Structure formats: C-alpha cells, structure tokens
Amino acid sequence: MATTIIGLDTGTTGVTALLYSVDRSSGLKPLLRSYREFPQHFPKPGWVEHHAADILGAVDEVLAELLNDPRASNVVGLGVTNQRETVFAMDRSEKGRALAPGIVWQDRRTDERCRQLASESGRATWIRERTGLVIDPYFSASKIEWLLLNVPGLSTRAHRGEVVFGTVDTLVLAHLTEGRMFATDPTNASRTMLFDIHRREWDGELCDLFGVDPQWLPEVRNSRGAFGQTSTEVVGRKIPILAVMGDQQAALFGQGATEPGSLKCTFGTGIFLLFNHGESSPQLSGSGLLATLAVGPQGQSVYALEGSIFMGGAIIQWLRDELGILNSSEESEEVAAGVPDTGGVTLVPAFTGLGAPYWDAEARAAILGLSRGSNRAHIVRAGLEAIALQTAELIELLRQETGHEIKSMRVDGGATSNNLLMQMQADLACLLVERPESIEATARGAALLAAVELGLVSQGAAPQVERTFVPNQSVSQATQLAKWRAAVARIRS
C-alpha cells in the first residue's frame, strides 16, 4: 500500500480531513476527503461562540471516515491546522475538557476593552512592535481576559494551575492525545497578542497587561516536530502528530509560497492575504497590515505580512441564508453574470466590523447606491465585487509597504471556484491570479509539513496551477478603488 499522510483542518465552520499519498518525486496526491460542518452559536449581538464538543465530535468523525478506508492502512503521520485566534479554557487534568464555550475570532465582545487600551498613550505602538498586531477584539488576549473575569470560578482554578488557555490547535492536540499534549506553535502563538514574535516566546509584560500567567498558556513548539501521537482510545490507532500551523500559514506553505516575495490569498469565511517576508523582520508603518510568523521551506519560522478581512465567502452565505436571494452559493456566479455591472450598487460587508486596513470594530454593513432599477443580480454582483475590492485594497497596501510590484497571487479556498470572482480579482488587483488544481491548501500545507518532518519530501512545493486569470487592462482600478473607499468612509464608526 502507498505511504499516506493526513492533513486535518479544523476550520471556522467545519472540519476537513484529507488523506494524501506521498511520493518523493511528485509530492502529495489527494486520495480521500471527509468533511463535517459544526454549529455556530450567537448568544448575543456581536458574540460568536463554538462548543468544544461540536468541534471535537467533527474531528472524530472525519478521522474515522478516512481511517476506515483501505487506502489509509499505511498512515505514517498527521498534520494539524486550525482557525486562529479562537480561544478555549481547558482543564489541565481532565484531558483538556473545555470549561466554557470558545470565543471565536469573529467575536466582538471585548471591543470596549480594546478601545480603552488603544486610547492609552503609546500602547498601540508598543503592542505592534512586540506582536506585529493591532489592538483589536480579533486576537486572543482580550478574550482570555474576558473568560477570567466572567466565567465563575475560572480565575480561582487558573491560579491553582488547573487551567490551560489555548487556541483550537491546543484543544485538538489535547483531545487526540487524551491530555498528554498541551502545545501550540509560533504561527498560532503569534495571533494571541501575548507572544513576542522577535524573541519567539510568551511576553511577561503583555501577559501581565491582560491578567494572564504565562504558566497558563501552552508550550510553544516548532511548527514542524513531535506533538505526540494519537490515542488508540480516541482515534483507534497511534499516529504521530508531526506538524501544527495556523490555517493561513498552512495555506501559504501548502501553496508553495515559501520564498520571500511570494503571496497567497485564501478565500474562505474571511479573506486572508499572506506575503512571505522571509527571515527579516518587517517594519510596519501603521497602515493596518499585520506582521506575523509563518513557515519557511524547511519548516523554520519566518516573517509574513498579513491582511485580514473578516467577510469573504460569508458575504455569499449572507446573501443566501439571511437575505434569501440565492438558492446556493454556487448560483452567485450565474446570477451576477446576468448583469454587466452593479448598476451603481456597493455592498460594504462590515457585519462584524472592519478588519484590515481599517480595524473598526463598530462599523456596520450597508448596501449603498440602490435605485428603483436595482435587482438581485446587482446586489449579488456587488457582493462578489466587495470580496475582490477588499482584497485589491490590501494588495495595493502591500505594494506600498514592501516596494514589490506583486505581479501574481496564488489563491485557495471555496470561493475560488467562482470564475467570475477570480476574474474580478485579477482585474481589480492588476495581477495574475493562479488557481491550483486542489484548492484545499490549508490541509495540504499541514500534511506537507508533516511529510517534510518525516523526510518523505525535501521541502514545501507548489501544487499544479489549474487556471490563470489574466487582468483586463480596460478596467479602471483607480476609479473602482476610489468608489470603494468612499463607500467605506460612509459606514465607518
């Protein structure tokens, strides 16, 4: 039987597991995919929660489905990737049992606390220089502080050494190893706002600011390496866990964008651009881009610049589920293609505030420019344009920050199957958009790094490109971006 490896992607709305065959010359070949969606919980306006049992139940189901297939008889390793910033409080002595619902990266409940911190003189610059991040509810630190202050008995238990606060990778590792491993990696740690990305360790002063003892946080291990092995009680067999990465860094690695100057964009629930900056620390101008840690060709930590957009594919889900003008997400391409343009309609998708480059947690969404002739096709097309315009705006910022021309971008994620959207993206960002044969770059990245750790492949390599979208030079990018920025200005808080 072929040597196989598993990439496990614990995302925001579901868990995906892919089984790959591994060949030293051709790399990874996908053999089997399993997916389970899990519920989202919205207990109050602006709050988004996940229940650990929902995530871990989905993990168990997808792994069981893969491992029951005869092609999985020779699985030699597992790589884990995960939604970032979402945080759980876990019982250290009870195999990582969650002590409260997890607070999801989209959650805005700590906005007031973050605004108070940002108002303090010099605080934002100090935090940005150490962590590469802006002060925002998106990141984990204020979420942990909220849990300590609001979950009865949690602070007392934490001071007794009974609690671990960790992102979803830590939750999954504790589950798969039955509490033997409470760990994370630099790519996830760098998204907590508690981690010094230059010294590569938990920062005592930042922890003090949020009332967190570093002993309550998981051990930070290299992204590539030993993270224990799966328990036979949980998974049915022992499989070495050999790689852990945050989902966007995993996609960067899975796309083969491991050299400085390479760029990838993931079109999932949100939109996430990562630009590989190499081993030199980026100097941020305060434009709204983030500095974060990523993974180099051999699995070493490198720096990346990131643009984080909260609403990507979720715009299409909203048009389908809440507005009810689409029967399926796939229908968006056909409906939008029914009109030549948006008819003056602009959709600004600030449903949970605005991420990069504005970082405005209080902004709210709007549909602007409606006329009596506006119809559902115009609104759907405006939704697709909103995805492409948000991304194009960040690419322009990357060009300004780095001095790179940026002529091409590799893409992945479910929304990339929409050809109209990808052509819009090429036109509005003035670059080649390269879509690979497999758009499951996050799971691929985790599996690929595990394969590197085993010596089955030498380093991260790019998948085959299935289609390249060439920009239409007749599209006026400057005019479109000016119109977009004017619309955003009207809904800012």
Greater confidence (420 vs 478) lies with 420
Question: What CA–CA distances, in Å, run from 118 to 78, 104, 125, 368?
Answer: 40, 21, 9, 30
Taking the C-alpha atoms of residue 353 and residue 491, their distance in angstroms, rounded to an integer, is 10
459, pLDDT greater than 70? no
Q: Is the pTM of this model over 0.85?
A: yes
Mean pLDDT along residues 197-219 = 95
Q: What is the pLDDT of residues 294-307, one digit of tens each?
A: 998 888 889 999 99
Rg for the chain, CA atoms, rounded: 22
**Alpha-carbon torsion angle 215, 216, 217, 220, nearest 10:** 30
424, pLDDT greater than 90? yes
Mean per-residue pLDDT over the chain, rounded? 90
CATH number of 4-247: 3.30.420.40
CB atoms within 10 A of CB 16: 19
Percent of the chain with pLDDT over 90: 60
1, pLDDT greater than 80? no
26 — pLDDT class (breaks 50, 70, 90): low
Give the lowest-confidence range in 20-24, 198-202, 428-432, 449-453. 20-24
Q: What is the pLDDT of residues 92-148, one digit of tens each?
A: 988 889 999 999 988 889 999 999 999 998 888 899 999 999 898 989 999 999 999
24, pLDDT greater than 60? yes
Mean pLDDT along residues 401-407 = 86
Residue linked to tokens 């000016």: 482
Residue closest to 146 by CA, chosen among 215, 212, 50: 212
Mean pLDDT along residues 343-349 = 93
Residue linked to tokens 């935090």: 127
Domain residue ranges in the chain: 4-247
53, pLDDT greater than 60? yes
460 — pLDDT class (breaks 50, 70, 90): low
Percent of the chain with pLDDT over 70: 98
Residue closest to 263 by CA, chosen among 253, 273, 251: 273
Amino acid at the residue 199: R
The reported pLDDT for the residue numbered 76 is 92
439, pLDDT greater than 80? no
Mean pLDDT along residues 17-23 = 90
> Cis omega (within 30 of 0) on the bond before 39?
no
The reported pLDDT for the residue numbered 329 is 86
Mean pLDDT along residues 451-479 = 81
362 within 8 A of 353, measured Cβ to Cβ: yes
